[in-house]
Structure 1
Amino acid sequence: MIAINNLTFEIGARALYDEANWHIKPGEKIGLIGANGTGKTTLLKIIVGAYSPTSGAISMAKDLKMGYLNQDLLSYQTDKSILHVAMEAFERQNQLHTEIESLLKKLETDYSDDLLHKLSDKQHEFEALDGYNIEFRAHEILAGLGFSEDDQNRNLMEFSGGWRMRVMLAKILLQTPDILLLDEPTNHLDLPSIKWLETYLQSFEGAIVIVSHDRYFLDRVVKKIVESRKGKLIPYAGNYSFYLEEKALREEIQSGQYKNQQAKIRQEERLIERFRAKASKAKMAQSRIKALEKMERVDDVDDDNPTVNFSFKFSKQSGRHVIRMEHVNKAYPGLQILKDAHAVIEKGDKIALIGANGKGKSTLLRIIAGTDKSYEGMCETGHNVTTTFFAQHQLESLHLENEILRELQAFAPKHTETELRSILGCFLFTGDDAFKKIKVLSGGEKSRVALAKALTADANFLILDEPTNHLDIQSVNILIQALQQYEGTLIAVSHDRYFLDNVANKIWYIENQQIKAYPGTYAEYEEWQSKRPTVVEKPAAPAVKKEEKPIEKPAANDKSKNLKKLNQSMLQLEERILDIENDIKTAEAELATDAIYQDSARLKAVNEQYKTAKDNLHKAQAEWETLAEQILELENASI
């Protein structure tokens, strides 16, 4: 289908690709991965002909139809509806429709056989191209990408950049190309739309090449990974999870080969040094020197997975309740977001706020952060809570003329330069990178600087709105490590399911204008949700005007009383579990000392304490699971 042979592409003195080779076969579903700056987007542009290679060749069939989704499509402007824009994909059908309409108009006054034959031919071709179903197909794909029936008749320019990108994606999908080239297609999609796109691409009959940092998306869609690395394109037969296993195996073999070769080189060098001064052995020594020079050297394995080796500290601990929300009402014209909503964020919570776009996730974050005051009810910040709010618009607050290190020094003056450079190193800014000016950085690099700033703040509560946008897989892994080590409280909105699954211990979602909570990881929530009866959303109520009387809260019934009682029991049980875990840590610390093994009586007593604590922990955890199930059953019953 497409053959890339000995491709070299240079930017200045730097070669992004150096005699790289890759063959794309019909029907292949491929994930193109690699660190930021390795040329993934550039390669897609070379394939579509936007860039010319320095040397090498790309060959493909002349009639190959390519669909290319890239961020440049956001610049497309028109005053037409998004349905019309999507239907531009049917170029020939639209042309035939116009011609048929013209012929029908002429037939009102001209009944010639020639005109009737032309009309018949056009209608036959239009029918063969499934022209009568193109509007239905456009409606279907736009609906899958999250557009309501009313939205589809709105002007394209009324929508934000992310929604316009969805329209461009719909247009490309409707063209049914032989190969789809998708550059970060999930960046502007919410979770329901990502799942819809996964299903669509799984059944797509053509070839697909996807550049994405969403490893769950890659796992579900692609059957092959191609890694852009050190100027080469390295294939792996399998999805992203298989790639990780296979790469680890290859690196283990390469590391063994490197160590063996280095040992052999050292042995040869010792022999050469020993015999080169002896005349009788000089010839042998020279022969070995030449053999060493000709030896094809095995490279050592590079560490592509840097670890976060510092801890995020804050000067004061927050109180038990970080945020309390009661009777919160929030509405926009024609859209009720929250209605008499209640929620509590407690110390240590790591919350993933999920749901479709338009449900109010970002609005809720702004209410919690205190940047949106236009709501009714109470949102109270707890004792000693210090907050940092990361959102994409904060990239604009970076000082473009500052060097990266200077930007962090100005924001976090209490940190030493060594500490700040360590933090920057974890976010892939090593060596002289720390002295780059902000203005020369890419979008992904600016995101990493803004995140580094957020994590150097003296804050015990983090609010993160789409922190993984523009980050590559390696950078997402670093952020996950950082947040796993973070001992404060956080709430994050993200469409990256791998990120959510590895960071969150509680899930929030907005349903029927209420904030609902699930006490577990994202994977556990997904499993629970799959078994749950379909919830029919109540229609959004109009916003309550200030001059109207406030809505009276309904009297608490038996279910709400039981739910409150169970939640209180769960809080008490969680405190007991925390105490037991502390007892276990204390016993483990004492058992780790040498002194205790000199005192048999004390050793026996501590062992018994440790065993008792472990038994108590298992019982308390089982009790917690029972309580959690009871709470979920009551919550479902009250929906």
Structure 2
Amino acid sequence: MLIALQDITFEFGSRVILENSSWHIEPGDRVGLIGLNGTGKSTLLRIINGEYSISKGSVNKIKNLTIGFFNQDLLSFETDDSILSVGMTAFGEALELEKDIERITKELEHSQDEALLHEFSDKLHAFEALDGYNMKHKSAQVLEGLGFSTADLDRPYSQFSGGWRMRVLLAKLILQQPDVLMLDEPTNHLDLPSIEWLEKYLSTYNGAVIIVSHDRYFLDRMVNQIVEVYQQQLHHYAGTYADYEVEKELRREMQQRAYENQQEYIRQQERFIERFKAKASKAAQAQSAMKRLDKLDRVEQADSGPSKIRINFTIDKTPGKILCTLQHITKKFGNITVLENTGAEINRGDKIALIGANGKGKSTLLRVIAGTEPFEGERTPGHNVITSFYAQHQLEALDLSNEILEELKSAGSGRSELELRSLLGCFLFTGDDVFKKIRILSGGEKARVALAKTIIGQANFLMLDEPTNHLDMNSVQMLIDALSKYDGSYVLVSHDRYFVSQTANKIWEIVDGKIKEFKGTYAEWEDWKKRQAANNLQAATTTADTSKEDKSAPATTVGKGAINKDVQRELQKQQKQFQQVEGQLASLKERKAGLEANMASPEIYSDKTKYAQVESEYQDVLKFLQRANEQYEKLFEKIMQLEANLVS
């Protein structure tokens, strides 16, 4: 057991957050920590991290336990160091040893002190044990996995936006490999390829992982148990989030049946007491029945489950068959081409999810469709199209002097105050929250107000840029239900795969500046991608086997067919790794040559202690060279296979 929370109680002033709650965290646990907003999920993580003190109970941890905590507060960190340097700070001990080794190396140029030589040897072995020679490569690998390009690695941390900074800090935590990794909404800052990389990484992570997330698709793939914060208690469920939903409903039904059975028993006893309490012959029995009721451990009525409030769209006009046509669209930002001579058509009834990595131009394409972004090419809007566009920049259109309810009334939807308050409840504004001024709201709260305004309009064409970013699971589900009944059309950008899987009937992906359309759901698109990858791998294996049989065949042949883009991307990735290993090899070979020169030096050769020291270091370098050469050969073989597969 790594951590044991035993009967803990935690309060904020007079408000009880947790009461007599327990939780044991074991090695290998993959826990999804869930609950409605404000129930105390992040608070619980801070209790585990030692930031908050409990008023009752105990928090016990094994000796020397390491905890990594990924959360919004990390953004207070500032530095002008490169993001690669920030990532490498995860190897604190190795970095200190590296400095010591450099210092001792300089001292040995002017000193032959034996104790210094022994210290040098000890530190080299310690540095190797900490895998110090690979810390730069590992840091680069993780950062690139989270979406950074190789060119980005040397850029200062201070030049990146908040979302990209969070990725750097997530990379640092991952590289530290703590015993317990706590992630508070990690997917909010990642695009789909980075989320998929994180999933692959966490699936083989040796420590325990605790995840707070509204992304149920991510939870279903990552966790083997759910802990729900509900009514000041921690409720434990085995399995994925989907398993939790089934088990939660079963528990709710069982509790409701137990409640109803107990209520029937209570009514029977009360009728008996009322009937016989005045009769001398039955008075004793009536008294006993009253005592039994007084001692009865009452079962609470089961909660009614998630809110059943529905979000409803209304449409004023029916548009023509074609809502928007794009032809020969090109969009550049300086030297960067985002869209290049591409086109697409949006038809009535289309529910399009625009997906892909950050920086590929998804939000730019939305603005092009809306006509708010300058571009080269032709955009033709359809007949009777009424557009409503939700994006983060729409927050600027909110009137800061208005109260939330006033802001929705000003949209002119004609809905009653009761309808508007019900809608705001779906977006987590309850009770007197609706009278808060816009100016005092957080960025997330303003985003929810803007999304609510988008919904109450009478548009027949919606453009939604990351609409689920600031919603809890219940609100996301209500938005999904609303969109499923929406008679209009929409294009949405989202990294929430569950949301996309439930709302889209077409998938758009921007590949090499072109809009690639897949007619089908997200699940069908995923299956298609897997089949494509399997076919590519089979083709690569077949080509490699053929090249082994025919030694006279050239290693690389460029065919006339179209180059497979998936294989090409994998090839570029392998080539980057190949270049890194080449650099390591060059450095190791240079170090080997220097040590060989030292070993040939009469001064070193005649001193047994010095020679033994250099000989030991030389053997270490040979081991590193062997490993690097093996990696070099594997990468080379893989690259040859991929190049062969570029033949169509």
TM-score category of the 2 structures, normalised to the smaller one: 0.7 to 0.9
* Cα offset, 1:358, TM superposition: 0.9
User: Matched residue of 1:255: which SS?
Assistant: helix
Cα gap change, 1:367 to 1:252, in 2 (>3 Å): same
User: Given residue 509 of structure 1, which amino acid in structure 2 is its aligned partner?
Assistant: E
Cα gap change, 1:259 to 1:36, in 2 (>3 Å): same
* Cα offset, 1:71, TM superposition: 0.9
Query: Deviations for 1:89-125, whole angstroms, at most 9, x for unmatched residues?
Result: 0001000000110111112221222221221111111
Query: Deviations for 1:254-297, whole angstroms, at most 9, x for unmatched residues?
Result: 11111111222222222223233444434433332332232212
Name 2:188's counterpart in structure 1: 187
Kept after mapping to 1: 8 A contact 2:71/2:184: yes
Name 1:112's counterpart in structure 2: 113
Cα gap change, 1:515 to 1:415, in 2 (>3 Å): same
Cα gap change, 1:442 to 1:158, in 2 (>3 Å): closer
Name 1:369's counterpart in structure 2: 370
User: Matched residue of 2:188: which SS?
Assistant: coil
* Cα offset, 1:431, TM superposition: 4.3
Query: Deviations for 1:390-439, whole angstroms, at most 9, x for unmatched residues?
Result: 11333454445543322211223511112212322333444444344446
Name 1:520's counterpart in structure 2: 520
Cα gap change, 1:285 to 1:434, in 2 (>3 Å): farther
Q: How does 1:351-500 map to 2 (within 5 A)?
A: 351-373=352-374, 375-395=375-395, 397-400=397-400, 402-438=402-438, 444-500=444-500
User: Matched residue of 2:267: which SS?
Assistant: helix
Q: How does 1:136-535 map to 2 (within 5 A)?
A: 136-309=137-310, 311-373=312-374, 375-395=375-395, 397-400=397-400, 402-438=402-438, 444-532=444-532, 535=564
Single out whichever of 205-214 and 288-297 deviates more from structure 2.
Answer: 288-297
Return the alpha-carbon distance in structure 1 between the equivalents of residues 358 and 10 of structure 2: 39
User: Matched residue of 2:226: which SS?
Assistant: strand
Name 1:536's counterpart in structure 2: 565
User: Given residue 264 of structure 2, which amino acid in structure 1 is its aligned partner?
Assistant: A
Kept after mapping to 2: 8 A contact 1:308/1:481: no
Return the alpha-carbon distance in structure 2 between the equivalents of residues 430 and 391 of structure 1: 23
Query: How many residues of Structure 1 are paired with residues of Structure 2 in the alignment?
Result: 540
Task: Provide the identity percentage.
Answer: 55
Name 2:614's counterpart in structure 1: none
* Cα offset, 1:309, TM superposition: 3.3
Return the alpha-carbon distance in structure 1 between the equivalents of residues 320 and 75 of structure 2: 45
Kept after mapping to 2: 8 A contact 1:156/1:164: yes
Return the alpha-carbon distance in structure 2 between the equivalents of residues 57 and 47 of structure 1: 11
Return the alpha-carbon distance in structure 2 between the equivalents of residues 13 and 33 of structure 1: 23
Kept after mapping to 1: 8 A contact 2:311/2:478: no
Query: Deviations for 1:548-580, whole angstroms, at most 9, x for unmatched residues?
Result: xxxxxxxxxxxxxxxxxxxxxxxxxxxxxxxxx
Kept after mapping to 2: 8 A contact 1:308/1:482: no
Return the alpha-carbon distance in structure 2 between the equivalents of residues 292 and 185 of structure 1: 50
Name 2:124's counterpart in structure 1: 123
Return the alpha-carbon distance in structure 2 between the equivalents of residues 413 and 512 of structure 1: 41
User: Given residue 232 of structure 1, which amino acid in structure 2 is its aligned partner?
Assistant: Q
Name 2:600's counterpart in structure 1: none
Kept after mapping to 2: 8 A contact 1:353/1:492: yes
Kept after mapping to 2: 8 A contact 1:443/1:470: no
Structure 1 unaligned blocks of 5 or more: 540-636
User: Matched residue of 1:359: which SS?
Assistant: coil
Query: Deviations for 1:317-351, whole angstroms, at most 9, x for unmatched residues?
Result: 11211111111110112211111111111111111
Query: Deviations for 1:99-154, whole angstroms, at most 9, x for unmatched residues?
Result: 11011111222122222122111111111111111111111111111111111111
Cα gap change, 1:439 to 1:281, in 2 (>3 Å): farther
User: Matched residue of 1:411: which SS?
Assistant: coil
* Cα offset, 1:362, TM superposition: 0.8
Kept after mapping to 1: 8 A contact 2:389/2:464: yes
Return the alpha-carbon distance in structure 2 between the equivalents of residues 400 and 49 of structure 1: 38
User: Given residue 274 of structure 2, which amino acid in structure 1 is its aligned partner?
Assistant: E
Cα gap change, 1:6 to 1:402, in 2 (>3 Å): farther
Return the alpha-carbon distance in structure 1 between the equivalents of residues 59 and 396 of structure 2: 39
Kept after mapping to 1: 8 A contact 2:311/2:479: no
User: Given residue 536 of structure 1, which amino acid in structure 2 is its aligned partner?
Assistant: K
User: Given residue 150 of structure 2, which amino acid in structure 1 is its aligned partner?
Assistant: E
Return the alpha-carbon distance in structure 1 between the equivalents of residues 446 and 234 of structure 2: 27
TM-score, normalized by length of structure 2?
0.80
Return the alpha-carbon distance in structure 1 between the equivalents of residues 441 and 284 of structure 2: 56
Name 1:584's counterpart in structure 2: none
Query: Deviations for 1:55-81, whole angstroms, at most 9, x for unmatched residues?
Result: 322111230011111111122111111
Name 1:90's counterpart in structure 2: 91
Instruction: Name the Cα RMSD after superposition.
Output: 2.1
Structure 2 unaligned blocks of 5 or more: 537-563, 570-645
Kept after mapping to 1: 8 A contact 2:215/2:498: yes
Kept after mapping to 2: 8 A contact 1:16/1:231: yes
